[in-house]
Amino acid sequence: MTANSFKMRYIVTPRYLPKPSKRRPGDPLTPGVKFIVAHDSGNPGSTAAGNVAYYARTSNDESASAHIFVDDQEILECIPALTQAPEKAWHVIYDVPSDNQLYGYNANDAAIGVEYCYGGKIDADEAYRKYVWVLACLCHSFELDPAMSIVGHFFLDPARRTDPVTGLATSRRTYDHLLRDVVAEFGICSGDAHRAPPTFVTAPGQAVAAARLCIRRGAPSRYAERVQVVSPGTMLPYEGWVTDGEVVNGNGNWYRDTNGNYFWSGGVRQEAL
Protein backbone atom coordinates (compact mmCIF):
# COMPACT_ATOMS: atom_id res chain seq x y z
CA MET A 1 0.00 0.00 0.00
CA THR A 2 1.73 3.14 -1.18
CA ALA A 3 1.00 6.55 -2.58
CA ASN A 4 4.51 6.83 -4.07
CA SER A 5 4.50 8.63 -7.43
CA PHE A 6 0.85 9.63 -6.97
CA LYS A 7 0.18 13.37 -6.71
CA MET A 8 -1.06 14.04 -3.18
CA ARG A 9 -3.39 16.97 -3.78
CA TYR A 10 -5.09 16.61 -0.41
CA ILE A 11 -4.48 15.28 3.10
CA VAL A 12 -6.36 12.22 4.33
CA THR A 13 -6.88 12.78 8.07
CA PRO A 14 -7.36 9.78 10.36
CA ARG A 15 -10.13 10.17 12.92
CA TYR A 16 -10.69 6.58 13.93
CA LEU A 17 -13.79 5.21 15.56
CA PRO A 18 -13.24 3.29 18.80
CA LYS A 19 -12.53 -0.41 18.51
CA PRO A 20 -13.70 -2.98 19.04
CA SER A 21 -17.19 -1.64 18.50
CA LYS A 22 -20.19 -2.42 16.35
CA ARG A 23 -19.18 0.12 13.75
CA ARG A 24 -15.47 -0.76 13.82
CA PRO A 25 -14.79 -4.35 14.84
CA GLY A 26 -11.10 -4.02 13.96
CA ASP A 27 -11.02 -7.02 11.62
CA PRO A 28 -8.61 -6.81 8.66
CA LEU A 29 -9.69 -7.06 5.04
CA THR A 30 -8.09 -10.48 4.80
CA PRO A 31 -8.29 -10.93 1.02
CA GLY A 32 -6.96 -7.40 0.60
CA VAL A 33 -8.73 -4.51 -1.11
CA LYS A 34 -10.37 -5.83 -4.28
CA PHE A 35 -12.70 -2.95 -5.17
CA ILE A 36 -14.21 0.34 -3.96
CA VAL A 37 -17.84 1.23 -3.28
CA ALA A 38 -18.93 4.81 -3.96
CA HIS A 39 -21.55 6.06 -1.49
CA ASP A 40 -23.11 9.34 -0.49
CA SER A 41 -24.05 10.27 3.07
CA GLY A 42 -27.80 10.33 2.34
CA ASN A 43 -28.12 13.32 4.68
CA PRO A 44 -27.94 16.63 2.78
CA GLY A 45 -25.91 19.29 4.56
CA SER A 46 -24.12 16.89 6.89
CA THR A 47 -20.35 17.35 6.87
CA ALA A 48 -17.56 14.80 6.99
CA ALA A 49 -16.74 15.84 10.56
CA GLY A 50 -20.40 15.69 11.56
CA ASN A 51 -20.86 12.20 10.16
CA VAL A 52 -17.72 10.86 11.81
CA ALA A 53 -18.69 12.45 15.14
CA TYR A 54 -22.12 10.80 14.91
CA TYR A 55 -20.53 7.42 14.19
CA ALA A 56 -18.22 7.85 17.19
CA ARG A 57 -21.11 8.76 19.53
CA THR A 58 -23.12 5.76 18.36
CA SER A 59 -20.25 3.33 17.81
CA ASN A 60 -21.97 0.59 19.79
CA ASP A 61 -25.54 1.40 18.82
CA GLU A 62 -25.44 0.33 15.16
CA SER A 63 -23.13 -1.60 12.88
CA ALA A 64 -23.46 0.50 9.70
CA SER A 65 -20.20 2.29 8.83
CA ALA A 66 -17.85 3.40 6.07
CA HIS A 67 -14.13 4.05 5.78
CA ILE A 68 -13.91 7.61 4.47
CA PHE A 69 -16.12 10.73 4.45
CA VAL A 70 -15.43 13.58 2.03
CA ASP A 71 -16.75 17.14 1.96
CA ASP A 72 -15.41 20.47 0.69
CA GLN A 73 -13.19 20.98 3.75
CA GLU A 74 -11.57 17.64 4.47
CA ILE A 75 -11.18 13.94 3.82
CA LEU A 76 -11.69 12.02 7.06
CA GLU A 77 -10.85 8.36 7.52
CA CYS A 78 -12.78 6.83 10.41
CA ILE A 79 -11.92 3.19 9.67
CA PRO A 80 -8.39 2.52 8.39
CA ALA A 81 -7.97 2.31 4.64
CA LEU A 82 -5.20 4.61 3.40
CA THR A 83 -3.59 5.73 6.66
CA GLN A 84 -3.20 2.26 8.22
CA ALA A 85 -3.72 -1.34 7.14
CA PRO A 86 -7.34 -1.54 5.90
CA GLU A 87 -10.04 -2.94 8.16
CA LYS A 88 -13.61 -4.04 7.58
CA ALA A 89 -16.49 -1.60 7.54
CA TRP A 90 -20.17 -2.48 7.29
CA HIS A 91 -21.26 -0.45 4.25
CA VAL A 92 -23.14 -2.95 2.03
CA ILE A 93 -25.58 -5.58 3.31
CA TYR A 94 -24.33 -9.14 2.97
CA ASP A 95 -27.37 -10.66 1.25
CA VAL A 96 -27.05 -8.80 -2.06
CA PRO A 97 -25.39 -10.93 -4.77
CA SER A 98 -23.96 -8.31 -7.11
CA ASP A 99 -20.67 -7.70 -5.28
CA ASN A 100 -19.84 -11.40 -5.39
CA GLN A 101 -20.88 -11.67 -9.03
CA LEU A 102 -18.75 -8.69 -10.07
CA TYR A 103 -15.68 -9.10 -7.88
CA GLY A 104 -15.87 -12.49 -6.21
CA TYR A 105 -16.16 -11.08 -2.67
CA ASN A 106 -18.63 -9.47 -0.30
CA ALA A 107 -18.04 -5.71 -0.15
CA ASN A 108 -17.67 -5.68 3.63
CA ASP A 109 -14.85 -8.21 3.41
CA ALA A 110 -12.86 -6.77 0.50
CA ALA A 111 -13.94 -3.21 -0.40
CA ILE A 112 -13.36 0.33 0.81
CA GLY A 113 -16.51 2.45 1.28
CA VAL A 114 -16.21 6.17 0.48
CA GLU A 115 -18.99 8.62 1.37
CA TYR A 116 -19.66 11.85 -0.55
CA CYS A 117 -21.09 14.65 1.60
CA TYR A 118 -23.33 17.13 -0.23
CA GLY A 119 -25.97 19.80 0.07
CA GLY A 120 -26.51 22.64 2.51
CA LYS A 121 -23.47 24.93 2.78
CA ILE A 122 -21.05 22.37 1.32
CA ASP A 123 -19.26 23.66 -1.79
CA ALA A 124 -20.33 20.98 -4.27
CA ASP A 125 -17.46 21.51 -6.70
CA GLU A 126 -14.72 21.32 -4.07
CA ALA A 127 -16.31 18.31 -2.36
CA TYR A 128 -16.52 16.58 -5.74
CA ARG A 129 -12.87 17.31 -6.53
CA LYS A 130 -11.81 15.73 -3.24
CA TYR A 131 -14.13 12.77 -3.76
CA VAL A 132 -12.77 12.05 -7.24
CA TRP A 133 -9.19 12.39 -6.02
CA VAL A 134 -9.54 10.04 -3.05
CA LEU A 135 -11.21 7.39 -5.22
CA ALA A 136 -8.31 7.65 -7.67
CA CYS A 137 -5.80 7.56 -4.82
CA LEU A 138 -7.35 4.37 -3.45
CA CYS A 139 -7.10 2.74 -6.88
CA HIS A 140 -3.43 3.68 -7.10
CA SER A 141 -2.63 2.60 -3.55
CA PHE A 142 -4.18 -0.85 -3.97
CA GLU A 143 -3.20 -1.35 -7.63
CA LEU A 144 -6.79 -1.35 -8.88
CA ASP A 145 -7.97 -0.41 -12.36
CA PRO A 146 -10.01 2.80 -11.90
CA ALA A 147 -12.11 1.96 -14.95
CA MET A 148 -13.23 -1.37 -13.49
CA SER A 149 -12.84 -1.30 -9.71
CA ILE A 150 -15.36 1.34 -8.55
CA VAL A 151 -19.02 0.51 -8.15
CA GLY A 152 -21.91 2.58 -6.83
CA HIS A 153 -23.86 1.39 -3.79
CA PHE A 154 -27.06 1.71 -5.84
CA PHE A 155 -25.69 -0.79 -8.34
CA LEU A 156 -25.08 -3.40 -5.65
CA ASP A 157 -28.35 -2.82 -3.80
CA PRO A 158 -30.80 -1.26 -6.29
CA ALA A 159 -33.91 -2.13 -4.31
CA ARG A 160 -32.82 -0.08 -1.30
CA ARG A 161 -30.14 2.46 -2.29
CA THR A 162 -29.66 5.36 -4.70
CA ASP A 163 -26.19 6.51 -3.63
CA PRO A 164 -24.05 8.10 -4.89
CA VAL A 165 -26.44 9.07 -7.70
CA THR A 166 -28.64 11.21 -5.44
CA GLY A 167 -25.72 13.08 -3.90
CA LEU A 168 -24.01 13.65 -7.24
CA ALA A 169 -27.22 15.04 -8.75
CA THR A 170 -27.23 17.90 -6.26
CA SER A 171 -23.89 19.01 -7.70
CA ARG A 172 -25.01 18.56 -11.34
CA ARG A 173 -23.01 15.37 -11.88
CA THR A 174 -23.96 11.86 -12.86
CA TYR A 175 -22.56 8.48 -11.90
CA ASP A 176 -21.10 8.05 -15.40
CA HIS A 177 -19.35 11.42 -15.07
CA LEU A 178 -17.88 10.29 -11.76
CA LEU A 179 -16.40 7.13 -13.23
CA ARG A 180 -14.88 9.01 -16.16
CA ASP A 181 -13.48 11.73 -13.91
CA VAL A 182 -11.83 9.20 -11.61
CA VAL A 183 -10.07 7.59 -14.58
CA ALA A 184 -8.89 11.01 -15.75
CA GLU A 185 -7.70 11.99 -12.26
CA PHE A 186 -5.89 8.68 -11.87
CA GLY A 187 -4.05 9.31 -15.12
CA ILE A 188 -3.10 12.86 -14.18
CA CYS A 189 -1.95 12.10 -10.63
CA SER A 190 -0.11 8.89 -11.49
CA GLY A 191 1.47 10.21 -14.68
CA ASP A 192 -0.14 7.41 -16.66
CA ALA A 193 -0.36 9.15 -20.00
CA HIS A 194 -1.57 5.99 -21.72
CA ARG A 195 -4.79 5.60 -19.76
CA ALA A 196 -8.04 6.54 -21.50
CA PRO A 197 -6.64 9.17 -23.88
CA PRO A 198 -9.27 11.59 -25.19
CA THR A 199 -10.31 11.38 -28.85
CA PHE A 200 -8.72 14.31 -30.66
CA VAL A 201 -10.24 15.99 -33.73
CA THR A 202 -7.77 18.03 -35.81
CA ALA A 203 -9.49 21.24 -36.92
CA PRO A 204 -7.49 24.48 -36.46
CA GLY A 205 -9.34 27.63 -35.50
CA GLN A 206 -9.47 30.36 -32.93
CA ALA A 207 -11.76 31.30 -30.10
CA VAL A 208 -12.13 34.26 -27.76
CA ALA A 209 -12.39 33.90 -23.99
CA ALA A 210 -15.89 34.92 -22.90
CA ALA A 211 -14.87 35.07 -19.23
CA ARG A 212 -11.76 34.49 -17.12
CA LEU A 213 -10.61 31.11 -18.33
CA CYS A 214 -8.07 28.57 -17.07
CA ILE A 215 -5.65 26.95 -19.49
CA ARG A 216 -4.83 23.39 -18.33
CA ARG A 217 -1.65 21.46 -18.98
CA GLY A 218 -1.82 18.16 -20.82
CA ALA A 219 -5.39 17.02 -20.11
CA PRO A 220 -8.95 18.26 -20.76
CA SER A 221 -9.90 18.45 -17.10
CA ARG A 222 -10.17 20.92 -14.25
CA TYR A 223 -7.92 18.53 -12.32
CA ALA A 224 -5.01 19.13 -14.70
CA GLU A 225 -2.37 21.67 -13.72
CA ARG A 226 -3.38 25.27 -14.37
CA VAL A 227 -0.71 27.00 -16.46
CA GLN A 228 -2.45 30.30 -17.15
CA VAL A 229 -5.62 32.29 -16.51
CA VAL A 230 -6.63 34.49 -19.43
CA SER A 231 -8.90 37.54 -19.33
CA PRO A 232 -12.18 37.97 -21.23
CA GLY A 233 -11.50 38.91 -24.84
CA THR A 234 -8.21 36.98 -25.09
CA MET A 235 -7.72 35.42 -28.52
CA LEU A 236 -7.03 31.66 -28.25
CA PRO A 237 -5.77 29.84 -31.33
CA TYR A 238 -6.34 26.09 -31.22
CA GLU A 239 -5.32 23.08 -33.29
CA GLY A 240 -8.42 21.00 -32.61
CA TRP A 241 -10.62 19.65 -29.83
CA VAL A 242 -11.79 16.62 -27.88
CA THR A 243 -15.40 15.74 -27.16
CA ASP A 244 -14.75 13.35 -24.28
CA GLY A 245 -12.96 15.57 -21.78
CA GLU A 246 -14.22 16.25 -18.27
CA VAL A 247 -17.91 17.11 -18.47
CA VAL A 248 -18.60 20.58 -17.02
CA ASN A 249 -22.23 21.71 -16.91
CA GLY A 250 -23.10 18.98 -19.40
CA ASN A 251 -20.32 19.92 -21.83
CA GLY A 252 -17.27 17.68 -22.36
CA ASN A 253 -15.79 19.59 -25.32
CA TRP A 254 -12.31 21.08 -24.79
CA TYR A 255 -10.02 22.85 -27.25
CA ARG A 256 -6.30 22.04 -27.46
CA ASP A 257 -4.01 24.95 -28.18
CA THR A 258 -0.75 24.92 -30.12
CA ASN A 259 1.22 24.21 -26.93
CA GLY A 260 -0.75 21.04 -26.19
CA ASN A 261 -2.74 22.67 -23.39
CA TYR A 262 -6.53 22.61 -23.06
CA PHE A 263 -9.31 25.10 -22.39
CA TRP A 264 -13.00 24.38 -21.91
CA SER A 265 -15.25 25.22 -24.84
CA GLY A 266 -17.98 26.52 -22.54
CA GLY A 267 -15.78 29.47 -21.62
CA VAL A 268 -15.22 30.82 -25.12
CA ARG A 269 -16.97 32.11 -28.21
CA GLN A 270 -15.97 31.04 -31.69
CA GLU A 271 -14.17 33.39 -34.05
CA ALA A 272 -13.53 33.04 -37.78
CA LEU A 273 -9.92 32.69 -38.90
- CATH code, domain carrying 140: 3.40.80.10
How far is Cα 258 from Cα 50, in angstroms, rounded to an integer?
A: 47
Give me the pLDDT at residue 273, please: 41
Per-residue pLDDT of the chain (273 residues; tens, 9 = 90+): 344 589 999 999 999 999 999 999 999 999 999 999 999 999 999 999 999 999 999 999 999 999 999 999 999 999 999 999 999 999 999 999 999 999 999 999 999 999 999 999 999 989 999 999 999 999 999 999 998 899 999 999 999 999 999 999 988 888 988 988 898 889 889 876 445 556 789 999 999 999 999 999 877 887 677 889 999 999 999 999 998 887 777 788 999 998 889 999 999 987 644
How far is Cα 4 from Cα 250, in angstroms, rounded to an integer?
A: 34
Select from 72, 244, 53 the least CA-distant residue to 170.
72
**Residue 265 within a domain:** yes
How far is Cα 237 from Cα 183, in angstroms, rounded to an integer?
A: 28
State the sign of the Cα–Cα–Cα–Cα dihedral 177, 183, 186, 191.
negative
Asked whether residue 183 falls in the same domain as residue 208, the answer is no
Give me the pLDDT at residue 171, please: 81
**Residue 256 within a domain:** yes
Give how many domains the chain has, as a whole number. Answer: 2
Give me the pLDDT at residue 77, please: 98
152: domain range?
12-190
The helix or strand, by DSSP H or E, that contains position 124, with its residue range, turns out to be: helix 124-141
**Residue 1 within a domain:** no
Instruction: Record the pTM.
Output: 0.76
Give me the pLDDT at residue 251, please: 86
Give me the pLDDT at residue 271, please: 60
Give me the pLDDT at residue 233, please: 94
State the sign of the Cα–Cα–Cα–Cα dihedral 166, 184, 226, 204.
negative
Asked whether residue 40 falls in the same domain as residue 107, the answer is yes
The CATH number for 260's domain is: 2.30.30.40
Give me the pLDDT at residue 1, please: 37
Asked whether residue 112 falls in the same domain as residue 223, the answer is no
The helix or strand, by DSSP H or E, that contains position 75, with its residue range, turns out to be: strand 75-77
Asked whether residue 104 falls in the same domain as residue 186, the answer is yes
